[in-house]
Chains A and B, each alone.
Chain A
């Protein structure tokens, strides 16, 4: 066969070079990336379960973030946030107060970082609200922690818990909350978080 003509070589080099440039600039993904990502997320999930069993919280958070990046589904991420922020700071774990506060803040900071991109932010709001009110505020005694927690809860009620865990009871609670005078609203939220009609019972 004769050597390739110059025009064909130039054209092929241009196409290849632009595809490579697009990949390096983050604009394109080479064919075959998605199966590779699928295999990575599969392996990531196996490691996530192992980290959950080992109570290795930093790894759990890192793998949850990785899963969010790879699959965009956020189930593992939501669970990692719940385990680290709300679970690891629970009194039953008998951590030192400073340690419990540190785990709760680490989980909340990670959640806040990814809240605009998680698929189900309403689940994150629930974790955020209960962690701030039940775990962080009793240790930090900062009013802004309590306010932020109650604000997150009101946001969650405004969306009736989100599309996957939608509950008419939450919508009814939100409408009752709107009837209350603005100054009494934080107290109303606190009562509903702790009372027999708390969110876990709806």
Chain B
């Protein structure tokens, strides 16, 4: 079995590909962390790293297709009539390659010749669906990290006596004092962050107005020390995709390349941030509804693939139950890939 795993790893990542991988990793590090040349952002690095498992996915699909055309399935039947040895070998080989990729990708987070990006935060507009004077209903569009803060700019120009104490309160009684000329920083409670919706009102009602275009959600950007954690989450996103690839190929009997494209499509849907959309009627709305239905059938794991310039919005938003569900889906796929028992043909 170790020889078969080694052979698959060599097929999927030939020796000269490793040079390409390390060169790509070096380029990603320079383009992301160099103070003059790069974007100076961890999100950028995570985005570049996510290319490697995608390349591996398609390469693996191609290797499986080549092996099929070379008659490997027939040899497998002769080698193991129970039929689970070959898929397990493929899965372990691919998992090892994926693990090596992510361990190597973590190195620049631990040892980086460039200065770490300074602590910063991302700011996102907030929709205020309904707002009478002194009462506001905020829609954050999706679940946000629990460390987020809502920034409110209040206009006091219509208040008769700006020196009186004014409080901003939520329906649960949590309140903060509002001071003229200061940005009100409202830290989100875990429930508000998870739900992505919240309501606030001012107490007493003195005519304080919220400057709606200036309302922002502040989300701290993860620092370099959280890089390995985010890479581990990215690993957990891609890992089940490889099991799904094997299931499509072995159980569904699709060609390797087509299986890889199907997994790519599934991964794209799983990585789609869920947003409330206002759907009208018509054929396009029906199509959009079907896309949403398929998305809802998958566990909400978009937080695992937090990468790019807006990664702080998604980072660490996937619940443990969703991650477990995604991994179970992978395990189920692996079981499906192993399930078929093929008797030896005389």
* B157 at the binding interface (Cβ < 8 Å): yes
Cβ-defined contact, B271 with A31, below 8 A: yes
Q: Which residues of chain B from 254 to 305 have any CB-CB distance to chain A below 8 Å in the complex? A: 254-255, 258-259, 261-262, 264-269, 271-272, 277, 284, 287-288, 290-292, 294-295, 305
* A-side contacts of B38, CB under 8 Å: 42
- Residues of B147-202 at the interface with A, using a CB-CB cut-off of 8 Å, are 151, 153-157, 159, 162, 179-183, 185
Establish whether residues A25 and B211, one from each chain, have CB atoms under 8 Å apart when the complex forms: no
Q: Which of B102-129 contact A (CB under 8 A)?
A: 121-125
Whether B309 and A72, one on each chain, are in contact in the complex, defined by CB atoms closer than 8 angstroms, is yes
Is the C-beta of B39 less than 8 angstroms from some C-beta in chain A? Answer: yes
Q: Which residues of B contact A38 (CB under 8 A)?
A: 31-32, 39, 44, 47-48, 308-309
The 8 A CB mask of A16-51 against B (1 = contact, 0 = none) is 101111110101111110110111011001000000
CB neighbours of A42 from chain B (8 A): 31, 38-39, 44
Question: A35 and B50 in contact (CB under 8 A), knowing A18-B290, A178-B156, A178-B180?
Answer: yes
Closest CB-CB distance, B259 to chain A, in whole Å?
8
* Residue interface bits A101-115, CB-to-B below 8 A is 1, else 0: 000000000000001
Judged by a CB distance under 8 angstroms, whether A77 is at the interface is: no
| CB closest chain-A residue, reference B72 | A1
CB distance from B113 to the nearest CB of A (A): 19
Q: Name the prevailing secondary structure of the A interface residues.
A: helix
A120 contacts chain B at the CB level, 8 A cutoff: yes
Give the complex CA separation of A119 and B217 in angstroms: 9
Contact at A11–B252, with CB atoms within 8 Å? Answer: yes
What string of 1s and 0s marks CB contacts (under 8 Å) between B123-155 and chain A?
111000000000000000000000000010111
Interface of B is mostly: mixed
Instruction: For the complex formed, measure the closest distance between the CB of B277 and the CB atoms of chain A, giving whole angstroms.
Output: 7
Q: Which residues of B contact A35 (CB under 8 A)?
A: 47-48, 50-51, 307-308
Considering the complex, give the chain B residue whose CB is closest to the CB of A25.
B288
- B73 at the binding interface (Cβ < 8 Å): yes
A190 within 8 A of B: no
Q: How far, in whole Å, are A99 and B32 apart by their CA atoms in the complex?
A: 39
Q: Count B interface residues, CB 8 Å.
A: 68
Given the interface pairs A27-B272, A178-B157, the reply to whether A41 lies near B309 with Cβ below 8 Å is yes
Count how many chain A residues have C-beta atoms less than 8 Å from C-beta atoms of the other chain: 63
CB neighbours (8 Å) of B162 from chain A are 175, 178-179
CB of A158 within 8 A of CB of B181, answer yes
Cβ of B179: which chain A residues have Cβ within 8 Å of it?
171
Asked whether, in the complex, the Cβ of B267 is within 8 Å of the Cβ of A8, the reply is no
Contact B122 A21 (CB under 8 A): no
Q: Could you list which residues of chain B lie within 8 angstroms of chain A, going by C-beta atoms? A: 31-32, 38-39, 44, 47-48, 50-51, 54, 68, 73, 121-125, 151, 153-157, 159, 162, 179-183, 185, 211, 213-214, 216, 218, 248, 251-255, 258-259, 261-262, 264-269, 271-272, 277, 284, 287-288, 290-292, 294-295, 305, 307-310
